[in-house]
Structure 1
Amino acid sequence: MIDNADAGKRMGPDGSSSGTRRPIVVIGAGIVGVSTAIWLQRDGHDVILIDRGEPGSATSYGNGGVLASASVVPVTVPGLLARAPRMLFDPDQPLFLNWSYLPRLLPWLRRYLAHCTPEAVNRIADALLPIVGDSLADHQALSAGTGAERWVRPSDYVYIYRDRAHYEGDAFGWGIRRARGIAWDEIEGAALLDYDPALSASLGFAARFPNHGTITDPGRYVQDLATHVVASGGRLVKGEVTDIVRENGRVTGVRAGGETIACAAAVLATGVWSKRLCATLGLDVPLESERGYHVELWEPSVTPRNPMMIASGKFVMTPMDGRLRLAGIVEFGGLDAPASRAPFDLLMKNVTAALPGLTFRNRTEWMGHRPAPADSIPVIGEVPGARGAYLGFGHHHVGLTGGPKTGRILAQLVSGRTPNIDLAPYAPSRFQ
């Protein structure tokens, strides 16, 4: 941590002394944005955090709440192209499509499905591991002393299968994890029911990852982190950023709410909504909304002891503060269409099968937008030809998991330091 006296002697990213330096603007107050803001402040920078909504109220609010360090296998595994059409017409499968959106989706979809090869999956896994592989420690370091640490809970993360044969059907994905040093325990039969008696007896096999974590209220967690940014001298602005201003190839400000806010650098971390501002910086990012759903069951009669991925339904059950959150589903339908009814119904059908006898006081529902680049690799780094413009988005299913590490990397880049990670896989230049 840098104290105020030391911070006053620093040079800003624009080469000015701290007495005259302009602040760093972070666009987007989700987990990536607030993480970036906190690490920038710890590095001595003045920060302005801008969002059109409240902090943590969009995608960061609705995720599964799991710090899923083992989640390095993308959706685009070999065989997806053959299975997807059948899944779309099976109401019990966790893949949905708004058919009226298909013509707009096709250019992105072609590029996305081109990555359904072993070589591409290995490349993606290699890129994801450094961002998510130490997530619990990353969140603990980020939240320490902020007041938000109360929402971070160490836990197991458990993949649940019907039986060993069902588990072995996912051998490709497990091999990807094993090759990267990810370890797990196998729990089978009666031992699984001893581990968690809440589970249905029809579920007979589990792969248990230790040393993972849970955020017990993701929305409140990000709000508390943003509150800490303000308490530490940051400024929170509510508004829509319409442009990133540059002079002689360097960022000098951002336009928001009809005014120009001067800055030394700007970090764009608005998830799936980043595409439009990227275009103003000369980048055509193939980015789509992978719409995700959650149902929350308040005051449930039973809860799993740790977050669990039910493999047959590809959904997560996460015990949270006062409720059980069911999250998952992949739906392609763009940013504007309303939520579909079928994904909510499928989540309820699946949890009823997994937790027999489950009752609850009431339930709430949510649909949001995961930012999905066609190559399934986050976009992290400085924009070529736009000095002081930095990007941090595109984490698909693992935005909460990888947000703190991404924010720390971005803060290091803004401060002129070289992160201890090869940034080539995440480079914005791949979309020029």
Structure 2
Amino acid sequence: MEQAANNWPDVAVIGAGVIGLSAALAAQARGLSVMVIDREGPAAGASAGNAGAFAFTDILPLASPGIFRKAPKWFVDPLGPLSVPPAYALKIAPWLLRFALSARPSRFAAASKAQTAMMALSKAELEPFMQASGTLDMLRRDGNLELYESEAEFRASLPGWAARERHGIEFRHMDAAAMAELQPGLSPKLTHGTFTPGWYSIADPKDYVLALARRFEDQGGTIERADVARLVPSDSGVTIETTAGTRLKAGKVVLAAGAFSHRIAKTLGEKIPLETERGYNTSLPVGAFDLRLQLTFGGHGFVISNLSSGMRVGGAVELAGLDRPPNFARAEAMLRKAKTFLPGLKTENGRQWMGFRPSLPDSLPAIGRSRATPRIVYAFGHGHLGLTQSAGTARLVADLLTDRASPIDLTPFSPQRF
């Protein structure tokens, strides 16, 4: 099957997650005809099972100068906040080397500056985008409470908060009494906390992305289910070859296929060091706990989120690629920890999930044109910040598609920076 030339859409977006659909809606708003292609359909991957947070205060890259004081202990713990299965260690070694280089102070500072600009743009774009897409009623502004188990752990966090303060991020530190007022039912093990009011969340991330898909189709967009095998650019457009042997065409293409994006980019001759942060969680039913806001346990690498469908306990980073079977012992370990921090938590009838979060070594996404052709725009590699940066990415992609000036410097996000 091949489309007739007069049926080509202006843009084909590969990926029906929150980044792809946000970009598709932004392109429609510029007057472009748009088709979305996804192998499973809308909200089938990380966009369905994430923590539901717009983490605009999360400006510090994972690759930081202090990470290597903690990493050796984490790496040897298969259930820890950051782990690499031994059988995968050799394959991921080149990525880990780039990660280590990104943690040098000068690179960390540059990445933090770029991330701050991206967060500011994404926050500014979010409410207008949600208003336009009819989803603003899903937005929550409850904030986030970061929790610590000791004075020493709290003190160790202060340089990070000082960095946020330099970038104008609002927060306030709390003792146990103030924390209990904000969130009753915390364990006395938790001695200190930091509240960030500028941390938003969504009622349910899957419902949000499905609502974006409905709005996109209501506005004349089409969503095709197909597994993209290869992109072939030409002077007149881009041919999209599928694994089923069909061919679709579009004037331009946005590659927003999450953790699978680098495989498609490779067909264009570009080797981008994208790895997979495999995130795990357990979704508990409504009534499992009286959760008032999102809780973050930085020392353990997980969060507890309040959703319209219940609550979600998850996070951590397992760098293990796309093909290894899931290790749900990680989800169980986080749930056990959550129970110790929230003694009244009911852990029965939970639903486990594992999803792929596309991660680049410096924690910045790849946003920019392909080296192979300006007709292809990359928008992937957001790690655990895809939902957070979705509206900002959509704005940047729409500007690239319509040759408008970008509101932020795109150099740090160049797909060719590696």
Q: TM-score range by the shorter chain?
A: over 0.9
1:159/1:310 contact within 8 Å kept = yes
Q: 1:124 — aligned with what? A: 111
Deviation at residue 216 of structure 1 after TM alignment: 1.7
Equivalent pair of 1:64/1:325 in contact (CA under 8 Å): yes
**Distance apart, 1:392 and its partner CA:** 0.2
* Alpha-carbon distance between aligned partners in 1 of 2:85 and 2:263, rounded to the nearest angstrom: 22
Distance in 2, Cα, partners of 1:91 & 1:337: 14
2: CA distance, partners of 1:406 / 1:290: 20
Alignment partner of 1:303 out of 290, 298, 303: 290
Structure 1 portions without partners, runs of 5+: 1-18
Is 1:254 matched up with 2:244? no
Aligned pair partner of 1:399 in 386, 396, 402: 386
Given that residues 367 and 377 in structure 2 are in contact (C-alpha distance below 8 angstroms), is that contact kept between their aligned partners in structure 1?
Answer: yes
Q: Which amino acid aligns with 2:248?
A: I
**How much has 1:108 moved relative to structure 2?**
1.3
Question: How far has the Cα of 1:111 moved from its partner?
Answer: 1.3
For residues 8-407 of structure 1, the aligned pairs below 5 Å read 22-90=9-77, 93-133=80-120, 135-248=122-235, 251-256=237-242, 257-407=244-394
Shift of 1:82: 4.1
Cα distance in 1 for residues equivalent to 2:403 and 2:58: 30
Worse-matched range after superposition: 332-341 or 138-147: 138-147
The one-letter amino acid of 1:207's match is T
C-alpha distance in 2 between matches for 1:380 and 1:145: 23
Cα distance per residue 1:381-431 (max 9 Å; x no partner): 111340211000011121110011101110111012112111111112324
User: Contact 2:8/2:249 (CA < 8 Å) preserved in 1?
Assistant: no
Q: CA deviation at 1:88?
A: 2.6
Alignment-derived partner of residue 3 in structure 2 = none
Relative to structure 1, the CA distance from residue 255 to residue 69 in structure 2 (aligned partners, 3 Å threshold; closer, same or farther) is same
Read off the aligned partner of 2:136 and give its amino acid letter.
E
Shift of 1:166: 1.8
Residue 5 (structure 1) aligns with:
none
Cα distance between partner residues in 2 of 1:369 and 1:405: 21
Structure 1 stretch displaced more, 86-95 or 378-387: 86-95
Q: TM-score, normalised by structure 2?
A: 0.93
In 1, the alpha carbon distance for the partners of 2:120 and 2:409 equals 15
Q: Structure 2 vs 1, CA of residues 102 and 90 (structure 1 numbering), >3 Å: closer, same or farther? A: closer
Maintained 8 Å contact 2:288/2:310: no
CA distance in 1, matches of 2:247, 2:78: 49
Contact kept? 1:68, 1:135, Cα under 8 Å: no
Of 28-37 and 191-200, more deviation after overlay is shown by 191-200
How many pairs are equivalent? 412
Whole-angstrom distance in 1 between the partners of 2:36 and 2:146? 37
Partner residue in 2 for 1:417: 404
| Residue type at the aligned position of 1:268 | L
Between 134-143 and 282-291, report the one with greater CA deviation: 134-143
Q: Is the 8 A contact 2:176 2:193 kept in 1?
A: no
Paired-residue identity, %: 31
SS in 2 for 1:429: coil
Q: Hey, what's the Cα distance between the residues in 2 that align with 1:226 and 1:37?
A: 9
Aligned residue identity for 1:233: G
What is the CA-CA distance between 1:361 and the residue it aligns to? 5.0
Distance 1:156 1:94 in 2: 23
The residue type equivalent to 1:393 in the other structure is: F
**Is residue 288–residue 346 contact of structure 2 (8 Å, CA) maintained in 1?**
yes
What are the Cα deviations for residues 174-200 of structure 1, in whole angstroms up to 9, with x where unaligned?
232122121211121212111211211
AA at the equivalent of 1:110: L
TM-score, normalisation: structure 1: 0.90
Structure 1 residue identity aligned to 2:239: G
Q: 1:94 to 1:300 in 2, by over 3 A?
A: farther
Verify the 8 A CA contact 2:328 2:352 in the aligned structure 1.
no
Give 1:163 shift.
4.0
SS in 1 for 2:199: strand
What is the CA distance between 1:352 and its match in structure 2?
A: 0.6
Kindly indicate whether the alpha-carbon contact (under 8 Å) linking 1:32 and 1:392 is maintained by their aligned counterparts in 2: yes
Where in structure 2 are there 5+ consecutive unaligned residues? 1-5
